[in-house]
Amino acid sequence: MDVPGGPLIMPRPPPPYTTDKDEIEVLVTSTFLPSYDAIRKGSSSECEIRTEVRKKILRDLGPPKPTKTNWCAILLAFLSGVFFTLCSALVKGLESIDPMELLVLRSSIQVAAMLPIVAYRGRNPFGPPGLRLLLVLQGIVGGVTLVLLFFSFRRLPLGDATSIIFSSPVFVLLLSFLCLREPCGFFRTLIVFLLVTGVVLISKPPLIFHQGQVENYDGLGYSAAILGALFTAINIVVMRRCKEVHYSILVLHFSAWSLVVATILTQIHGPWTTGGPLRHASLTHWGLASLVGVTGLLGQVLLARALSMEGAGKVAVTRSLDIVLAFVLQIAFWDEVPDWMGALGACLVCICVAAMGAEAQLTQVAATIP
């Protein structure tokens, strides 16, 4: 076939992929000729040859170079955890005010703060056309999550509630395995087992512990904390699908739907109704209630900024320090010292959260072990 400028020379198609042993030998010996003969003599099968060559490559490359840590992002993640824990402590401490009214105030403050940012960025407050339904789902799930968290913070010791809520990776792994078909190997299965063990040690269900003290067991509080961890996981999975959406729109939807859900619950009397109306509170309590919104907003914004500067793994490891801070506040302000089982369960949750955050690094190091 002729074309202007000369005949068209068709490129030769590549040979079909083959797993023939001779092809493998050519590929390997072209790079590792000095050591390949020794490997081949000591190996009796193609599988063993591949394994030995892989180990030789990893040894020649040396240990993986550690990636640089963005310490500014780590500081922001730590400050985010501090603000979230302070918000939780304020919700627990303001016992004279209905927690749903505190949530209404917090959501109103966050909506008022996010709207100018969305307008300044020139974004559509409803989000991109293809993701609007997911944003609505994320907002509703986030609103229900905050209701469950506020309810559990009011009824449970602060450290217990925080530790159980941080067990949300259990549900994230299960949902990712069932819905997203992500692999769940031995490492993740072990993490799930240890996290569940930690939650059981913290919550001490009557079927396993203290069977004669069922009347003193706050089943609603612990159920709300576990459901809060589940809805937190659902929210994380949904947010993975909205990762290209600006954080201001995510926080705006999250806050707007929290406002709707909390407003509805303030009009319905139920177990979540504890304390009096906010309008009857003193000026000091009004100031502390406003801090619930401010600390919650700062925690959300700092967390979003930290995730934009550093990987989610390192941020998750840093956020696990929230559990320690929650127990410190629990002991300092409420004089509630955890027993050995609660402390052991909290330690298991901390270790598992840190291990999940460092999963990639641990896997990379394990691959270099001969």
pLDDT of residue 368: 63
Q: Pick the more confident residue, 134 or 178.
A: 134
3-state secondary structure of 279: helix
- Average pLDDT over the chain reads 78
Q: How is the chain split into domains, by residue range?
A: 71-367
Residues in the chain: 370
Q: Pick the more confident residue, 129 or 1.
A: 129
pLDDT of residue 109: 92
pTM of this structure:
0.71
CB burial string 223-262: b at 16+ within 10 A, e below: ebbbbbbbbbbbbbbbbeebeebbbbbbbbbbbbbbbebb
The alpha carbons of the chain give a radius of gyration, in whole angstroms, of 27
pLDDT over threshold 70, residue 27: no
Measure the CA–CA gap between 249 and 243, rounded to whole angstroms: 11
**Considering the chain, what percentage of its residues have pLDDT values greater than 70?**
73
Question: Per-residue pLDDT tens for 276-314?
Answer: 888 888 899 999 999 999 998 898 888 877 877 776 667
Question: Per-residue pLDDT tens for 142-185?
Answer: 889 999 999 999 988 888 888 888 787 777 777 777 776 767 77
pLDDT of residue 26: 45
**Considering the chain, what percentage of its residues have pLDDT values greater than 90?**
17
- Helix, strand, coil percent values for the chain (each to nearest 5): 75, 0, 25
3-state secondary structure of 220: helix
Question: Per-residue pLDDT tens for 259-275?
Answer: 999 999 998 887 777 87
Confidence category of residue 106, pLDDT binned at 50, 70, 90: very high
Question: Per-residue pLDDT tens for 38-95?
Answer: 545 555 566 566 666 666 665 655 555 555 667 888 888 889 889 989 999 999 999 8
* Least trusted range by pLDDT, from 113-117, 205-209, 338-342: 205-209
pLDDT over threshold 50, residue 6: no
pLDDT of residue 199: 86
